[in-house]
Structure 1
Amino acid sequence: MTKDADIESLRLAARALLARPLLSSGGPDAAIAAAVRRQHRDRLQQWFEHNLGWKLVVDRDVIRLNKVPAGTPCLPHDAPEQRVCVLYCLVLAALEDGGDQVVITEIADAVTALSGVRAEIATFDPADFAERRRLVQALRLLVDHGVLLPTRDRASTEQDEAEYLSGAGNAIYDVDHRVAALVLACPVAPTRAGTPTGLIAEPHPDTPVGHNRRRRHLIMRRLVDEPVLYLDELTEDERDYFRSQRHALLHEVKELLGVQVEVREEGAAIVDDELTDLRFPAETTRPYAALLLAGALTAEPGARLGSSVVVPEIRMRELAVWLAERVGERVTTIEKKPVTPSTALDAALVVLTAFRLVERTTDGVRLLPALGRFRPPAEPPEFAGPATSRNGTPA
């Protein structure tokens, strides 16, 4: 293999692990997993550990990058609802002492028993439709993650799961115990963590080396794992480190991942069309609504001042009416609900919040600096919404 081909193979493996931190030899990324084992294990282990503090486990059949978040608040798009996550973990616990095959009803019985012995966990009720639906959601996640393998084709298994919801079906799965053992990745074992925050507690030595390591890991995690790294969300000490080490940090990211990094006064962001789990703009209704709202918000008085501007709630309600009219010209439903000012605004804000373009506050919506990327060149009237005075009230 030539040097260029080796670098491209390494880059492809690193990008794959960031997007899909668990690769199996029998999955769609089998070729990448093989390349990691054969060529890139040491280099990737060193890079992830040094720059991000993430351990890369390379097993014969499974490769697991133990990603730990930077500690920023979880957004609604980041995970399923809480109950689904609880059931996901209970299923993993139930599978630990089980055999190589299992059916849904066996899983449901085991989850019922496990949930019943912890006072802080609501006991699973297999007779409740909503509970069965959430269990199926958890099972489908486990199938996506390679823990459960349908013994039939995926469509047939999903049909069995649908029948289980109605009280009749009983899908059967093979269990990959090695993948199951590597799914949960946290520095502190759940039995010792005490709280969700405790799961990601990472002590660093109280030395200059330890302080630098902590700052580098936090900054690099935000850079590679979040839409935008905003400097005003860092401590003064962390900002100083970023400014002094910026060129070295960005060089590491650009060299290994083959991405462009846009740096502005307010912060930095990786710009890449493929290294993302969220796409915006996109040709679906919710991103379309978000793009309309983004343009309208950039036309608000003071919007060019960036994160110092909060669009008040009364103004957001006015924009919601305008947004619903615009979206309603193309579709009648959004997220399976009729297009109304409320549903259109909520759908758009989910996208804009996920991309760290805005954030909700108690009295409105705060505009974040990256929103400026979506300012229409001439700010045409279609983005302006209803006319306002300088204080945000109707003119």
Structure 2
Amino acid sequence: MKDALEARTADERGKVVRTLLRTPLLTPKDEIFTLARRHGDVIAQWFARETGWIVFHSAGAVRLRKHGILSEDGSRGAQEGAAPFGRRRYVLVCLALAVLERADKQVTLGRLAERIVHYATDPVLTAAGIEFTLRDRSQRGDLSAVAKLLFALGVLDRVAGDEDAYVAGSGDVLYDVNRHVLAELLANRRGPSTVDEVDWAMRLATLAAEYAPDTDDDRNRIIRHSLSRRLLDDPVLYFADLTEAEREYLASQRVHLLRRITEFSGLVAEVRAEGIALLDPSGEATDYGMPEEGTEGHATLLVAEHLAGLDRARPGVPVAITVLEAHIAARAPEFASYWSKAAREPGAERELVAKALHRLASLRLLRVDGTEVTGLPALARYAFAAPKLPGERS
């Protein structure tokens, strides 16, 4: 009985860890919220020990603060459907949060828009080329996308109305403002207003900076935290991307480090000559699956297979994106009865390949440089051999 209870507790904690890695902000409307609250103290201690990350949990939110991460691959950004947020939408998110910080318990989208328009007249934003006046439908569409993001995050609870009606100019939306969640959105250790650097890259680096270690124990702890964060948060950790100090630490502590992570999280370590990936059999920590169903999922698999084959023949040699587009266009008739109608239209291969490359780059299976693509080592798993029928000779 005791063993069964311990196993169940371990399973629940692993499930919460995996869910938080994918969705770092949970609210009472999430099914796993109760479990996250029940095991909150133990999980917070584990994350603090292994990664240096902080887990805050209250009756209104459970928040994993993934500080110390800078990603330039574009795969972690906000998006509406398949469309990633652009510069103006991110500015609108910040302005909306500033408005909501001072708003009443309820707010309409129209009132939110009025205050954002006022804030957008700030000379600094104007000098940066940011304009928001609500004069055209595209700007209302941007605001609608921001409102839907805040609703998905739990900052706003929709009481009545519809964002699409607001965009069309035929209605408004009433929201409750969830201050528990609003207070937990910022995950930085340092407040943005305390950063003096002018250069954008330097501002980001300063926000994400860790304290300087004073002792060997501090240095080793920072290295361990850095490795654990990348193992848990990145699809693949390549040894070539590590510093010399990180490679030396991993060479001596790899078995111990992986055991500490996998036993608690339920993830499975796959160690290869080029790097390490933590696999997620449950799918609970996975935002991008590979392969996935549907036309886009199939096209992504075809792109990966073709590029992996080319990379096997000529390792490290970049491949033009047009070569991949031609490959998908050539294979499309073969799957015409299975793919969507839009994917069979002339020129559809460009969009299919673009979406495939975004997914594969997000999974760290390849690198896109302008009009060329270079396969990364983990892509080799998709270099399939020709199928053989049972009884067929080699």
Corresponding residue number in structure 2 for 1:48: 47
Corresponding residue number in structure 1 for 2:255: 247
Q: CA deviation at 1:327?
A: 5.9
Corresponding residue number in structure 2 for 1:303: 312
Corresponding residue number in structure 1 for 2:392: none
Q: Deviations for 1:314-354, whole angstroms, at most 9, x for unmatched residues?
A: 644543543555565633324x9864342232122122111
Among 219, 227, 233, the residue aligned to 2:227? 219
Q: Quick one: distance in 2 between partners of 1:344 and 1:52?
A: 37
Corresponding residue number in structure 2 for 1:18: 21
Corresponding residue number in structure 1 for 2:153: 145
- Going from structure 1 to structure 2, the CA distance change for 1:317 and 1:337 (only over 3 Å counts) comes to closer
Corresponding residue number in structure 2 for 1:130: 138
> Are the counterparts in 2 of residues 259 and 271 from structure 1 also a CA contact under 8 Å?
yes
Q: Quick one: distance in 1 between partners of 2:296 and 2:273?
A: 30
Corresponding residue number in structure 2 for 1:281: 291
Q: CA deviation at 1:60?
A: 3.2
Structure-1-length-normalised TM-score: 0.85
- Going from structure 1 to structure 2, the CA distance change for 1:231 and 1:6 (only over 3 Å counts) comes to same
- Further displaced range: 114-123 or 218-227: 114-123
Q: What residue identity is the alignment partner of 2:298?
A: Y
- Going from structure 1 to structure 2, the CA distance change for 1:117 and 1:162 (only over 3 Å counts) comes to same
1:358 aligns with 2:389: no
Q: CA deviation at 1:51?
A: 1.5
Q: Quick one: distance in 1 between partners of 2:10 and 2:236?
A: 27
Among 190, 200, 205, the residue aligned to 1:188? 190
- Going from structure 1 to structure 2, the CA distance change for 1:183 and 1:310 (only over 3 Å counts) comes to same
Q: Quick one: distance in 2 between partners of 1:77 and 1:284?
A: 23
> Are the counterparts in 2 of residues 327 and 339 from structure 1 also a CA contact under 8 Å?
no
Q: Quick one: distance in 1 between partners of 2:345 and 2:25?
A: 35
Q: What residue identity is the alignment partner of 2:318?
A: V
Q: What residue identity is the alignment partner of 1:288?
A: H
- Going from structure 1 to structure 2, the CA distance change for 1:161 and 1:148 (only over 3 Å counts) comes to same
- Further displaced range: 365-374 or 70-79: 70-79
Alignment of 1:315-354 (within 5 A): 315-316=323-324, 318-325=326-333, 330-334=339-343, 339-354=347-362
Q: Quick one: distance in 1 between partners of 2:24 and 2:17?
A: 10
How many residues of Structure 1 are paired with residues of Structure 2 in the alignment? 367
Q: CA deviation at 1:104?
A: 0.5
1:71 aligns with 2:80: no
- Going from structure 1 to structure 2, the CA distance change for 1:225 and 1:128 (only over 3 Å counts) comes to same
Q: Quick one: distance in 1 between partners of 2:294 and 2:76?
A: 16
Unaligned runs of 5+ in 2: 80-84, 198-202, 389-394
Q: What residue identity is the alignment partner of 1:111?
A: I
- Going from structure 1 to structure 2, the CA distance change for 1:118 and 1:270 (only over 3 Å counts) comes to farther
Q: Percent identity among equivalent residues?
A: 31
> Are the counterparts in 1 of residues 68 and 209 from structure 2 also a CA contact under 8 Å?
no
Q: CA deviation at 1:262?
A: 0.4
Among 165, 168, 183, the residue aligned to 2:170? 168
Q: CA deviation at 1:77?
A: 5.7
Q: Deviations for 1:107-161, whole angstroms, at most 9, x for unmatched residues?
A: 0011111221142351322122111111111111111111100114xxxx4xx21
> Are the counterparts in 1 of residues 37 and 58 from structure 2 also a CA contact under 8 Å?
no
Report the aligned-residue RMSD.
2.4
> Are the counterparts in 2 of residues 293 and 323 from structure 1 also a CA contact under 8 Å?
no
Q: CA deviation at 1:214?
A: 2.2
Q: Quick one: distance in 2 between partners of 1:304 and 1:48?
A: 42
Unaligned runs of 5+ in 1: 381-395
> Are the counterparts in 2 of residues 289 and 347 from structure 1 also a CA contact under 8 Å?
no
Q: What residue identity is the alignment partner of 1:78?
A: G
Alignment of 1:254-269 (within 5 A): 254-269=262-277
> Are the counterparts in 2 of residues 23 and 64 from structure 1 also a CA contact under 8 Å?
yes
- Going from structure 1 to structure 2, the CA distance change for 1:77 and 1:339 (only over 3 Å counts) comes to farther
